[in-house]
Amino acid sequence: MAQDGKGWSRAQMAERAARELQDGYYVNLGIGIPTLVANYVPQGMTVTLQSENGMLGIGPFPYDDEVDADLINAGKQTISELPQSAYFDSAQSFAMIRGGHIDLTVLGAMEVSERGDIANWMIPGKMIKGMGGAMDLVAGVRKIIVVMEHCSRNGDSKFVPECSLPLTGKNVVDMIVTDLAVFQRPETGKPFRLIELAPGITCDEVKSRTTASFEMLDPA
């Protein structure tokens, strides 16, 4: 989390992830920080947001006086609709995902491995409601971006050599945006490369707080 001008805040992480959107994209946003991406779609760009609970065409989060309790995303947050919004059942929603019709998904994670594995659906021993749409998303969507805090609350790296938590998907993550940096894999099977640092953060600081192996930022 950004402190004393160092690193990115949650909103800034979402804004950085939104820079990966492209005109005409169909995009699914996961629970947590990824939902904030809806507020940062670049002006003039047409991006259609999809929610696995059955909505296509999601607008920004509403102001307090605009809230409609019947309009929610998959994380049960109130959202706004657009003139072109469409509604359908979950079966049709998951058919879009499983059929490869979603261009990009932005997800949160508890761990991402240096091989692109992701663990984001459960911690053993803790009560959970179920898998949700995460496993379908990592299997059916063309590009996977993870937005997460770089370290857990106890200071452990969340970008790790190998995930210790139950996996959602293997070798699927294309980009990681944390409060410290951005990592990208040029292609599946290749190592992640550090491509961008958050304000006030150095390569040495990222390296000291990361247990995964990755290629360093190219010298300027």
Comparing CA positions, the residue from 30, 39, 31 lying closest to residue 12 is 39
The 3 state secondary structure assigned to 127-169 is: CCCCCCCHHHHHHHCCEEEEECCCECCCCCECEECCCCCCCCE
Q: How far apart are CA 185 and CA 176, in angstroms?
A: 9
pLDDT for 74: 77
Helix count (H) and strand count (E) of the chain? Answer: 4, 12
Establish whether 52 is a catalytic residue.
Answer: yes
CATH superfamily of 10-208: Glutaconate Coenzyme A-transferase (3.40.1080.10)
Quick one: pLDDT band at residue 158, thresholds 50, 70, 90?
Answer: very high
**What is the per-residue pLDDT across 170-200, written as a single tens digit (0 to 9) for each?**
999 999 999 999 999 987 778 999 999 999 9
Q: Are 21 and 104 a contacting pair, CB within 8 Å?
A: yes
pLDDT of residue 73: 82
> What is the bridge-based pairing of β-strands 181-184 and 159-160?
unpaired
Q: How far apart are CA 37 and CA 133, in angstroms?
A: 18
Q: How far apart are CA 76 and CA 95, in angstroms?
A: 21
d(CA 104, CA 144): 6
pTM: 0.91
Strand partners, 119: 111
Structure tokens at 84: 């072109």
Which one is catalytic: 20, 52, 111, 149? 52
d(C-alpha 85, C-alpha 106), whole Å: 20
pLDDT digits (tens, 9 = 90+) for 52-67: 888 999 888 888 889 9
By mean pLDDT, which of 24-38, 67-81, 132-146, 174-188 is the weakest?
67-81
pLDDT at 123: 67
Whether the per-residue pLDDT at 127 is higher than 80: the answer is no
DSSP element (H, E) containing 12: helix 10-18
- Separation of alpha carbons 19 and 29, rounded Å: 14
Angstrom distance (rounded) from CA 139 to CA 158: 21
* Gap between the Cα atoms of 48 and 85, Å rounded: 9
pLDDT band for 12, please (50, 70, 90 cuts). Answer: very high
User: What is the band of 104 on the pLDDT scale with cuts at 50, 70, 90?
Assistant: very high
Q: Is the pLDDT of residue 208 over 60?
A: yes
